[in-house]
Structure 1
Amino acid sequence: MTALAGRPHIPETGHFEEAARILAGLEPGARLEFIDGKIRSKAVPGRDHGRIMEWLTRICVQARPELWLCPDQGLRVQAHRGGRACPDGELVPKGAFEGQGAWADPEPVLMVVAVTSHDADTDQRDRVEKPRAYAETGIPLYLLVDRKACQVSVHSEPDGGRYEVMHTVSYGKKIHLPDPVGITLEIEQLKDWVN
C-alpha cells in the first residue's frame, strides 16, 4: 500500500480504479482515494468510528425516513469528476446509488460525512482537501466529526471552490444541519467516543 499511496500523481482515473480494486482484495477494509491528482490511503476505521456512524445513521433515519445514510460509498468528485473520494457516509434519497458500482455520481448527495481518524494525514485530508473537493462538486453539506478537537463542523453553501459557511461547536452542544437536510444534532453523546 505504501508504494501506491506514495505516488504523487497518476495519469488516468482508470489506473487508479484498478489499483483500488487490487488493494481492496489484498487488505480488507483498506481504501484508496484520488483527490487533486494524488492518491491517498484511507485508514481502516476503529471501533468508536463505527459507533459514531451508527449514532448518526439512527438520527438521520428517524428524522428523515425518506433518506438513507450510506456508509463508505465511493463518489466521483471535483469539477470534471476525475477525483475519487470515500466519505464515511453520504445522506441521499433511498435507492440513489442503485446500480452505480464503487464510484457513484454525487448529484443526489445532500450531505457527506467524515469522522476523523488518528492517522498522520487526517488534518490535510479531512480539513482541507475533502471540503474543497466536495464544495467544487456542489455537495450541499459536509459534516466533520473531529474526534481530536472534540468538535463537530458543518460546512454549507458551496460556491464551486469552497464552502462559504462553516459552523463549529464543541461536543456537548447542539448543531443544526441546514437545508436540504434540516436536522438538529444533540452531540452530547460524542463525548463517550473521543478515541
Structure 2
Amino acid sequence: MTGAPDYSQGIDVEHALKFAVQRIRGGRVQIIEGIIEPVSPTWDHEHAAGLVRRQIEKRVGELECVEGSGNLDLPGSSNWYIPDIAVVPKALAKGGGALLPDQTLLIVEVTSESNAEADRAVKRRRYAEYGAPLYLLVDRMERSITLFSEPQKLGYTDVKGPYPFGAVVQLPAPFDLDLDTSDLV
C-alpha cells in the first residue's frame, strides 16, 4: 500500500502557493493562513465597500494615491490577500505586482458570512504584524465599523469602535475625514 507522495521535502510551500494563485484564470483568490479561498463578493458586500470608496475618493486623489483591491503579499507567511479596498501611493501602484501591507495608507475589509472571522481576527492580526497603518473593518454581520491603528507585531494598539452602522467614524491623518455610515443602516 502506498500513501500519497510527500511533496513537503524541498518545496517552498509559500512560494508555490503564491505562484499558483497568481495564475488562476476566471476568478480571483486569496490565501488565508495557507488555505486558498475564492473572492466573490455579493451585491450588499459591494454596496458597503462602495460607500467607503465614494467618501474617500476625493481625499485619495489629493494624497496622490489610488484605491482598489490589488494583491497584498505577506512575505514569510502563507498569506496573499485581496482586500476589499487598499489605498496606496500612485508611484507604488504602477509596478503591477503585489504590494506589502506597510506600503498602504488604509486597508478596508468588509465581512461576509464566509469570511467574517478571518477579517475580524486573522487579517487584523496579520495586517498589524505587517505594518498596515490603518485597518477599517466593516462588519456586516455585527452591523458595526471598527478602526484599528498603531500597528505592532502582536496587533493594533489603538482601536476605535466598534461603532454601530449609522455612526460617523473619523478617519485620522492623512485622511482627516468623517466617514458617514448612515447608508448602511
TM-score, length basis structure 1 = 0.78
Report % sequence identity: 29
The alpha-carbon deviation at position 178 of structure 1 amounts to 1.9
| Residue number in structure 2 paired with 1:6 | none
Question: How much is the aligned-residue C-alpha RMSD, in angstroms?
Answer: 2.2
Q: Deviations over 1:123-164 (max 9, x none)?
A: 1x1111101111011111100111111101101111222001
Letter in 1 for 2:53: T
Shift of residue 82, structure 1, vs aligned partner: 6.0
Runs of 4+ more than 4 Å apart: none
- Which residue number in structure 1 is paired with residue 61 of structure 2? 65
Shift of 1:50: 1.7
Larger Rg: 2
Distance 2:136 2:73 in 1: 18
1:190 and 2:153 are equivalent in the alignment: no
Within a 5 Å distance, the mapping from 1:63-142 to structure 2 comes to 63-67=59-63, 68-77=65-74, 80=76, 83-101=79-97, 103-119=98-114, 121-123=115-117, 125-142=118-135
Deviation at 1:69, TM superposition (A): 4.9
- How many residue pairs get aligned? The number is 173
Structure 2: 5+ residue runs without aligned partners? 1-10
Distance in 1, Cα, partners of 2:177 & 2:14: 36
Structure 1: runs of 5 or more not aligned = 1-9
Q: 1:172 aligns with which of 151, 166, 172?
A: 166
CA offsets 1:19-70 (integer angstroms, 9 cap, x no match): 2134x31xx33312143xx224144101122222222112111234234453
Q: The residue matched to 1:49 in structure 2 has which SS?
A: helix
TM-score relative to the length of structure 2: 0.82
